[in-house]
Amino acid sequence: MSINITIRVAKSADHDAVLKFIREHYYKEEPITISHPEPGHTVDDEIFSMSHIEHDTILMAFNSDNDEIVGILIAGPIELGDADVMLEDAKKASKKWGDILRLLAYIEKKADVLGRFNLDTVLHCHVLTSHKKYRGNGIGQKLFEYCFENARNLNYKLMSTDCTSIFTTKIAEKCGMECISTVTYDEYNELLGERLFQPQEPNFEIKTFVKKL
């Protein structure tokens, strides 16, 4: 179904609408979430994602004809030491959220985006999702491109993202982003000494991409 798309920054009044959308269209498919043996997603994950609304870095895409939400991008700042904060938070978190935080910290430390580019902060995309009915309209690419411009306006020098699916990987590549690091689930499970995360085909790795702004 071909549609015209408009995009804007989400405000506090949009909180519930954004949360409802990612519950329906993101968490049920997100590879890290569904690769963990515990079903569903955690409330802590929702709280973390929605906390970025205060930074003016959550984007909403709409069908211009009827104002239906068709896509969401959630980004937020990452700063030096955030990986260590995640490891500390993991000690107090629920089992599933703690496991995910430790994996994310490993991904962040391996990519070392801030150290690699000698920056104190970058804008990081945490969530990219679109309405199942409207896929094929380039919604993800349009959200990324809008995010680049929004990040420039907020004075960020770099945007990064960890692509957990081959679909977001393809979108990042179309947007001219550069892959700087890859973590496979096998690699991480071997480090743990157990097969904790059990990925579903075709999403066997997480690729970190960056875009200079």
How deeply is 212 buried, as exposed, middle or buried, from its count of CB atoms within 10 A (0-12, 13-18, 19+)? exposed
Q: Is the pLDDT of residue 205 over 80?
A: yes
Residue 2: the pLDDT is 84
Backbone angles phi, psi at 125, to 5 degrees: -85, 120
- pLDDT score at 167: 95
The reported pLDDT for the residue numbered 1 is 74
How sure is the predictor about 82, in pLDDT bands with cuts at 50, 70 and 90? very high
pLDDT at residue 189 greater than cutoff 80:
yes
For 54-70, write each residue's pLDDT tens digit: 999 999 999 999 999 99
Question: To the nearest whole percent, how much of the chain has pLDDT over 90?
Answer: 99
List, for residues 97-142, the tens digit of each pLDDT value.
999 999 999 999 999 999 999 999 999 999 999 999 999 999 999 9
pLDDT of residue 179: 98
Q: Could you read off the pLDDT of 13-66 as tens digits, one per residue?
A: 999 999 999 999 999 999 999 999 999 999 999 999 999 999 999 999 999 999
Q: Mean pLDDT of all residues in the chain?
A: 97
What pLDDT sits at residue 65?
94
Mean pLDDT value of segment 62-82: 97
Strand partners, 162: 208
Least confident stretch, 2-6, 83-87, 145-149: 2-6
Determine the Cα–Cα distance for residues 133 and 135; give it in Å rounded to an integer.
Answer: 6
Structural element, H or E, at residue 163 = strand 158-163
Give the Cβ contact number of residue 16 at 10 Å: 9
Phi, psi (5° rounding) for residue 61?
-105, 140
Pair type for strands 158-163 and 121-130:
parallel
| Domain range summary for the chain, segments of one domain joined by + | 5-212
**Domain made up of 5-212: CATH architecture:** 3-Layer(aba) Sandwich (3.40)
